[in-house]
């Protein structure tokens, strides 16, 4: 298996695609498709956040001895994303497309600036500090 950078970045792209399907369906007021696409996105995102919080961040923290640094900020941003996802689920249930799209744009920008920090800095750094990244990738994949 390849690097953490490649593996985790692919996870981001998959979440983006699912989110986009849900957003497109809501824009088209196609609610049944929106429900299933949103469900898929929420599951994928939670899975990705779990991979980071339970495996990747602890590995990074162990290697660098720093638990209050970048990973603490990443964990806080995960909470911010979860709060928005909960709001979005409510808007979807209420079939409120304006609110969904407004919150969705907000989640998208929050999520992307978060992903940039991970893809540009945290993932490549983790690849460098962890001796055997392919072993970690295997564990992430089994998560």
Partner 1 sequence: MRTDGLSFDRIPPLATPLGYFLLAPLFGLLAALILVAQPAMLEQRWLGASLAATHLLALGFGAQIMLGALYQVMPVVTGQPLSQHARLPRLIQLLLATGTLALATGFMTAAPVAFSLAAIALPLALLLFVGCWGTALWRVHPLGESARVLRLAAVGLIGAGGLGLHQALYHAYPSLIGYAGELTDAHLLWASLGWVVMLVMGVSLQVIPMFHVTPALPRWIAQFAAPALLAMLFIATLWPPSRAVALLLSALLTGAYAIAALNALAARKRKRIDYTVRLWQLALCHLLMTALALGASAAGIQLTSLAGPVGVVFGIGFMLSVMLGMLQKIVPFLIYLHLQRACLGDPMAMMALPNMQDLLPTQTQRRQWQLQLLTLLLLYLSYVPGMIELTGRLAGVAAAANFIYLGRALWRARQRFYAALPTA
Q: Which positions touch Fe ion (CB under 5 A)? A: 52
Q: Which is nearer to partner 1, 76 or 143 (CB)?
A: 76
29 Cβ neighbours under 8 A, 6+ residues apart: 97
Rounded to a whole number of angstroms, the minimum distance from the CB of residue 134 to partner 1 is 19
Q: Which is nearer to Fe ion, 23 or 52 (CB)?
A: 52
Chain contacts with partner 1 (rule: CB under 8 A):
16-17, 19-20, 23-24, 27, 63-64, 66, 69-70, 72-74, 76, 79-80, 83, 87, 98-99, 101-103, 105-106, 108-110, 112-113, 115-117, 119-121, 124-125, 128-129
The interface partner of residue 15, options being Fe ion, partner 1, none and the CB cut-off 5 to 8 Å by kind, is none
In contact, 103 and 95? CB cutoff 8 Å: no
The distance between the two most distant Cα atoms of the chain, rounded to a whole number of Å, is 49
What sign for the dihedral angle of Cα 125, 106, 75, 141?
negative
The interface partner of residue 87, options being Fe ion, partner 1, none and the CB cut-off 5 to 8 Å by kind, is partner 1
Q: Which is nearer to partner 1, 31 or 143 (CB)?
A: 31
In contact, 24 and 41? CB cutoff 8 Å: no
Angle between helices 70-93 and 97-117 (to 10 degrees): 160
Q: How far apart are CA 29 and CA 32, in angstroms?
A: 9
Residue 13 main-chain phi, psi, to 5 deg: -65, -35
Rounded to a whole number of angstroms, the minimum distance from the CB of residue 129 to partner 1 is 5
Q: Which is nearer to Fe ion, 24 or 112 (CB)?
A: 112
């Amino acid at each position: 298996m390849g690097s953490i950078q490649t593996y985790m970045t692919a996870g981001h792209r998959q979440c983006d695609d699912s989110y986009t399907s849900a957003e497109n369906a809501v824009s088209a007021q196609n609610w049944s498709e929106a429900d299933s696409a949103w469900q898929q996105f929420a599951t994928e995102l939670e899975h990705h956040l779990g991979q980071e919080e339970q495996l990747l961040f602890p590995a990074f923290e162990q290697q660098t001895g720093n638990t209050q640094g970048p990973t603490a900020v990443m964990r806080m941003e995960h909470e911010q994303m979860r709060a928005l996802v909960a709001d979005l689920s409510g808007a979807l249930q209420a079939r409120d497309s304006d609110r969904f799209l407004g919150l969705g744009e907000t989640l998208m920008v929050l999520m992307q600036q978060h992903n940039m920090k991970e893809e540009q800095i945290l993932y490549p750094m983790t690849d460098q500090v962890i001796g055997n990244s392919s072993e970690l990738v295997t564990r992430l994949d089994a998560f």
